[in-house]
Chains A and B, each alone.
Chain A
Amino acid sequence: MSIKTILRSVMAAAIALIAFNACEKQKDYGKDLPGCWELITITGFEQRPEIYMEFVSDGSFILYQRFGTNTSFSRYEGSWTLSGDQLSGKYSDGSPWGSVYKIEISDGVLFLSASSEESTYRKITQIPADIQISNL
């Protein structure tokens, strides 16, 4: 195999890789994100907090969170924006999220990462009714 052939192959592979990555970046998570999600792992936490989120396609979200068993869930709501794979948002009181998250969704699992923190959420059909009722 000549050097020219080898270079041609390498170039073709590089172009294919770039093209593949470009396709990945263009993946529309805006269609996959709406729905309900439950936190299943997060780096650094031995005992994960209870986090339930519902992203609505109109750009709003509802969040329920609880740490420890003998407390109530706290409810937050606000709006989200997706730009490519960058998910950002703000709460209804005007507070911005703590970070802009890099998002990835695959096989019903949502990956969010920011700085060195990585968290995964599984898709659920709905937020458990008892959690919502406790926050009425």
Chain B
Amino acid sequence: MSRNRLTILHMAVLPLLLAGCNGRTSLVEEIHGPVPVIGSADGADGSRILVQTSDIESAAEGLSYERLFPSTPGKEAIEHKYGLDTWYVVSIPEDKDVREISGRLSQNKTIRSIEYCAPLTRPTESDKLQVEDLALSTKAAKEPVTMNDPLFKSQWFLFNNGDKSMFGQNCVAGCDVNIKDAWSLCAGDPSIIVAVVDEGVKYTHPDLAANMWTNTEEIPDNGIDDDGNGYVDDIHGYNFADDGAISWSKSGDDGHGTHVAGLVAAVNNNGTGISSVAGGSGKGDGVRIMSCQIFSGGRNDNSAVARAIKYAADNGASVLQCSFGLGRYYSDRAFSESLSAVKAAYDYFRAPENANSGVTDGNIVVISAGNSHNNFAEYPGAYRDYICVSAISQDNLPAWYSNYGPGVNIAAPGGDNTFTLTMLSTLPSELKGNDYGFMHGTSQATPVVSGIAALGLSYAKQLGRHFSRDEFEAMILSAVNPLEDRLTGSKMGPASSFDLATRKGGMGTGVIDAWKMLMNVEGVPFVTVKTGSDASIDLRPFLGEDAAALTIKEVSISSKDREAIGLTTEPAVSAGKMSIRCTKAGAARITVMAVAGGATEGTDTEMGGKLFSRTISIVSRENISSNGGWL
């Protein structure tokens, strides 16, 4: 056996052994030859498989094939860089078994990877979270609303005045995302596009239609791919599950995509229905929703997800909203190797070459943590590159169902069915006869974060600001209200209580706050310290309100800046404060790197948090005022 073959076999067998040790899902279905076949044939689409190769003519061995990712004019070089031009869908003849063909192709040395087109599971399915009938209280909230949308008063996650008769006995005033303050600065920007990768979005919905992204290069319903992007009549997105027109009310659909879209950008201030995080001010200024449909009547697979993500990148989306899970993996490497076409598409979406907002140098991916109340997040959310969202309810505590622990980066309101109201948003009326309804889950928490990310991009655009993708993600992760101190005692779930201490350090950096996000976009103010004196800098404005609970990985300052403020001892961080002594007047920048979610960062082999860095501007002066004013 050649050395190469041995290595490949090790790569294939090792995960299988590891999986066996801990009773977890195996990566490898069968090992016939040098190429492992990834996934399970059970339940997979028997008519096709995914093949990665740089020589498809040899690899297909006479079978018909097509590119998994249609090439987009002008993007060929980027597609090649991220390997998207090496993925193919190979058709299996009707009289052949998919397992047999996969086995045969696995002997072909020109093939790098083979994946079954496997059905995916949505995180909501394990708990069967139900769409509840619309049953709104007619009571008005105690505080006036900023937007004139009549159902705003029932959206506690946007504005929670603590009205127990409306939101439930245990609701806590202020447990919301502080949107009314944020709206005073910015309510959206139509150039910012959020791709909702989910069930199809009902683009004709009265509270969504005006904020739908529209592909102006495509002529509707003419059966022609007018813009040559590989998809016919893709006006508001595309149905990758069925390879056709977007749908939202097939048997098996529950309106999930339409609900998620409404939380991001239902049209604000139109006197209709609900408000949303980034739905504008009623002047056509909401962010736009692109429907990237990957579920249809319960049908889906990994090839649809991969294609949907690339489509979002190629057609202008700067935020990828993903409220789904792709199965249970227990390390970043296992996920990457099991769903390598999907992983390649995510890499492509985040690539600097595809930065779409004009604000950041890469697009932002936001994914749900899952609803199985497990002490780890599901993938792809758990992967260290993406922002993974857990859920709280209106008592300002973790929702009973939310996954927590390694892989989780930030929390957001997601509702809880033990309360009177969960998360109110748009629904296709075809399903339950109403345009609005309640759902709950990390699926609902995630679009709140996606919406706030889009709002942040909108505000940055308004101010003419530019950030690196990493900087912007750090701004999201630090735009939070505290959660850790409340994680004591127990909380009732639908069947039994759970110990809140088990969630400590597992829900992420804190609970997202829209106002704080916009303040981060404006820029964190500098800190003035007195030259020659010991100073203690509160890190909460930089790392979020739970700064004291974060694990700090590194504090760094350049030698030039060190000299500028006469730093003779290293700055030390403890309990959310930085101790520093400057011996010279001057200015410097100090970077603090922390872990978002848990004590350790994720690696290829260990699930963990996401590293993020904030830079603090220090001004050392002999004469300082207590309020930071210059004089």
Which residues from chain A sit less than 8 Å from chain B, CB to CB?
42-47, 49, 51, 53, 63, 65, 67-68, 70-72, 74, 76, 78, 89, 91, 93, 95-99, 101, 114-117, 134
Are the C-beta atoms of A95 and B586 separated by less than 8 Å?
A: no
Distance between Cα atoms of A45 and B592 in the complex (Å): 23
Distance between Cα atoms of A96 and B629 in the complex (Å): 10
Interface status of B467 (Cβ within 8 A of chain A) = yes
Could you list some 25 contacts between A and B, CB below 8 A? A44-B531, A45-B587, A46-B564, A46-B586, A49-B630, A65-B630, A67-B619, A68-B523, A68-B526, A70-B466, A70-B467, A71-B524, A71-B526, A78-B629, A89-B631, A91-B629, A95-B625, A95-B629, A96-B625, A98-B623, A114-B622, A115-B622, A116-B622, A117-B621, A134-B463
Contacts of B628 in A (CB 8 A): 74
Closest-by-CB residue of A relative to B589 is A68
Are the C-beta atoms of A63 and B584 separated by less than 8 Å?
A: no
Distance between Cα atoms of A95 and B630 in the complex (Å): 12
Majority secondary structure, B binding face: loop
Are the C-beta atoms of A44 and B624 separated by less than 8 Å?
A: no
Are the C-beta atoms of B622 and A76 separated by less than 8 Å?
A: no
Distance between Cα atoms of A78 and B617 in the complex (Å): 25
Which residues from chain B sit less than 8 Å from chain A, CB to CB?
463, 465-467, 522-526, 531, 564, 584-587, 589, 617, 619-631
Contacts of B526 in A (CB 8 A): 67-68, 71
Contacts of A51 in B (CB 8 A): 630
- Also in contact, A71 and B525, with CB within 8 A (given A65-B630, A95-B629): yes
Are the C-beta atoms of A93 and B627 separated by less than 8 Å?
A: yes
Are the C-beta atoms of A45 and B585 separated by less than 8 Å?
A: yes
Are the C-beta atoms of B630 and A47 separated by less than 8 Å?
A: no
Contacts of A96 in B (CB 8 A): 625-626
Are the C-beta atoms of B523 and A70 separated by less than 8 Å?
A: yes
Contacts of A95 in B (CB 8 A): 625-627, 629
- Give the shortest distance, in Å, between A56 (CB) and chain B (any CB): 15
Contacts of A101 in B (CB 8 A): 631
Contacts of A68 in B (CB 8 A): 523, 526, 589, 617
User: Among A53, A70, A115, which residue has its beta carbon within 8 angstroms of that of B465?
Assistant: A70
Closest-by-CB residue of B relative to A50 is B630
- Give the shortest distance, in Å, between B563 (CB) and chain A (any CB): 9
- Give the shortest distance, in Å, between B289 (CB) and chain A (any CB): 29
- Also in contact, A63 and B587, with CB within 8 A (given A70-B467, A70-B523, A98-B623): no
- Give the shortest distance, in Å, between B617 (CB) and chain A (any CB): 5
Are the C-beta atoms of B627 and A72 separated by less than 8 Å?
A: no
Are the C-beta atoms of B587 and A65 separated by less than 8 Å?
A: no
Contacts of A116 in B (CB 8 A): 585, 622
Number of A-B residue pairs, CB cutoff 8 Å, is 88
Contacts of B525 in A (CB 8 A): 71, 74
User: Among A43, A98, A134, which residue has its beta carbon within 8 angstroms of that of B624?
Assistant: A98
User: Among A53, A67, A72, A76, which residue has its beta carbon within 8 angstroms of that of B587?
Assistant: A67
- Give the shortest distance, in Å, between A59 (CB) and chain B (any CB): 14
Closest-by-CB residue of B relative to A89 is B631
Distance between Cα atoms of A114 and B530 in the complex (Å): 13
- Also in contact, A49 and B522, with CB within 8 A (given A65-B629, A98-B631, A117-B623): no
Distance between Cα atoms of A44 and B586 in the complex (Å): 5
- Give the shortest distance, in Å, between A34 (CB) and chain B (any CB): 16
- Give the shortest distance, in Å, between A44 (CB) and chain B (any CB): 3
Are the C-beta atoms of A44 and B585 separated by less than 8 Å?
A: yes
Contacts of B620 in A (CB 8 A): 44
15 more A-B residue pairs beyond the given contacts A114-B622, A117-B623, with a C-beta to C-beta distance below 8 A = A44-B531, A44-B621, A46-B564, A46-B587, A49-B630, A53-B630, A63-B631, A67-B619, A71-B522, A72-B463, A76-B629, A97-B623, A98-B625, A116-B585, A117-B621
Distance between Cα atoms of A53 and B619 in the complex (Å): 19
Contacts of A98 in B (CB 8 A): 621, 623-625, 629, 631
Closest-by-CB residue of B relative to A95 is B627
Are the C-beta atoms of B622 and A117 separated by less than 8 Å?
A: yes
Contacts of B467 in A (CB 8 A): 70
Closest-by-CB residue of A relative to B621 is A117
Contacts of B466 in A (CB 8 A): 70
Closest-by-CB residue of A relative to B625 is A98
List of 8 A-B pairs having minimum Cβ-Cβ separation, nearest first: A71-B523, A44-B585, A99-B623, A98-B623, A67-B526, A98-B625, A95-B627, A76-B629
Contacts of A76 in B (CB 8 A): 627, 629-630
Are the C-beta atoms of A63 and B629 separated by less than 8 Å?
A: yes
Distance between Cα atoms of A114 and B624 in the complex (Å): 11
- Give the shortest distance, in Å, between B548 (CB) and chain A (any CB): 25
- Give the shortest distance, in Å, between B561 (CB) and chain A (any CB): 10
Distance between Cα atoms of A90 and B624 in the complex (Å): 12
- Give the shortest distance, in Å, between A64 (CB) and chain B (any CB): 9
Distance between Cα atoms of A68 and B619 in the complex (Å): 11
Distance between Cα atoms of A10 and B180 in the complex (Å): 75
Distance between Cα atoms of A76 and B623 in the complex (Å): 17
Distance between Cα atoms of A63 and B586 in the complex (Å): 20
Closest-by-CB residue of A relative to B523 is A71
Closest-by-CB residue of A relative to B524 is A71
Distance between Cα atoms of A116 and B465 in the complex (Å): 36
Are the C-beta atoms of B623 and A114 separated by less than 8 Å?
A: yes
Closest-by-CB residue of A relative to B584 is A44
Contacts of A53 in B (CB 8 A): 630-631
Distance between Cα atoms of A63 and B624 in the complex (Å): 15
Distance between Cα atoms of A98 and B623 in the complex (Å): 5
Distance between Cα atoms of A70 and B465 in the complex (Å): 7
Contacts of A49 in B (CB 8 A): 587, 619, 630
- Give the shortest distance, in Å, between A118 (CB) and chain B (any CB): 10
Are the C-beta atoms of B587 and A97 separated by less than 8 Å?
A: no
Distance between Cα atoms of A93 and B629 in the complex (Å): 11
User: Among B523, B586, B589, which residue has its beta carbon within 8 angstroms of that of A72?
Assistant: B523
Closest-by-CB residue of B relative to A115 is B622
Contacts of A72 in B (CB 8 A): 463, 522-523
- Give the shortest distance, in Å, between A25 (CB) and chain B (any CB): 22
Interface centre among B587, B627, B629 (most CB of A within 10 A): B629
Distance between Cα atoms of A53 and B630 in the complex (Å): 10
Distance between Cα atoms of A63 and B630 in the complex (Å): 8
Closest-by-CB residue of B relative to A72 is B522
- Also in contact, A91 and B630, with CB within 8 A (given A71-B522, A71-B523): no
Distance between Cα atoms of A46 and B565 in the complex (Å): 10
Distance between Cα atoms of A96 and B522 in the complex (Å): 27
Distance between Cα atoms of A116 and B531 in the complex (Å): 11
Distance between Cα atoms of A53 and B536 in the complex (Å): 29
